[in-house]
Amino acid sequence: MVTWKMKCSTCCLLAYRNDHNETRKLNCSERMTWKYSPDSDPALRIYPVNLGDEGNYTCEVVSSAGNFLFFSSLTVIVPPTVTLTCDMSRVAVCRASAGKPAADISWIPASNHSTEEEVHHLNGTVTRVSYIGWVNSTLPAVTCLVTHPATNQTLFLDLSYTSPSLPYLLIGGSASVAAVTGVTLCFIFRCR
């Protein structure tokens, strides 16, 4: 017999009993299933993954060889949405919205005059915003670096424009790391 449980009293329970060729699902969404056939591979499949799936999972295997417990922990990483703009008072605004964990923001050239704020959302994501002014600066451009476990992005802002809606150019790419927003993911847990 193989049983998958999420660590809470009302969470999903997925079980398979080999001697009766019987499966049971209790409080599980349609996204939580067996990867293949549980008699050949008792891996848990979560597709697509969302923030509510984060937590600790237990796999219990009962066989003639004994009882075995395996523990897995799922952490969901959400890449932020990144923008770089400026306002009328000649302040560049680099925003990393709704990431989990919060993204780190830095500037090129580096500045001791940047300010940052953070907003924590109810779903566990964080928006981080960094501001840098260039009122009396002779800099031709500023670059915002956003670092996150799911993505690293470099955004460039040409300061020679005077329009309040300055364009930005994404000159970096994102790394290929498991994340939720904008990407459909499937997590497979194996117990062996």
Domains and CATH numbers, the chain: 2-76 (2.60.40.10), 81-158 (2.60.40.10)
CB-count burial class (<10 Å; 0-12, 13-18, 19+) for 23: middle
Greater model confidence, 159 or 105: 105
Exposed e or buried b per residue across 119-144, where buried means at least 16 C-beta atoms within 10 angstroms of its C-beta: eeeeeebbbbbbbbbbeeeeeeebbb
**Residue 155 pLDDT:** 96
**Residue 40 pLDDT:** 80
**Residue 122 pLDDT:** 95
Q: Mean pLDDT over residues 148-165, rounded?
A: 79
**Residue 173 pLDDT:** 40
Euclidean distance between CA atoms 47 and 184, whole angstroms: 8
In the predicted structure, residue 73 carries a pLDDT above the cut 60: yes
30 in helix, strand or coil? coil
Q: State the pTM of this model.
A: 0.71
Mean per-residue pLDDT of the chain: 81
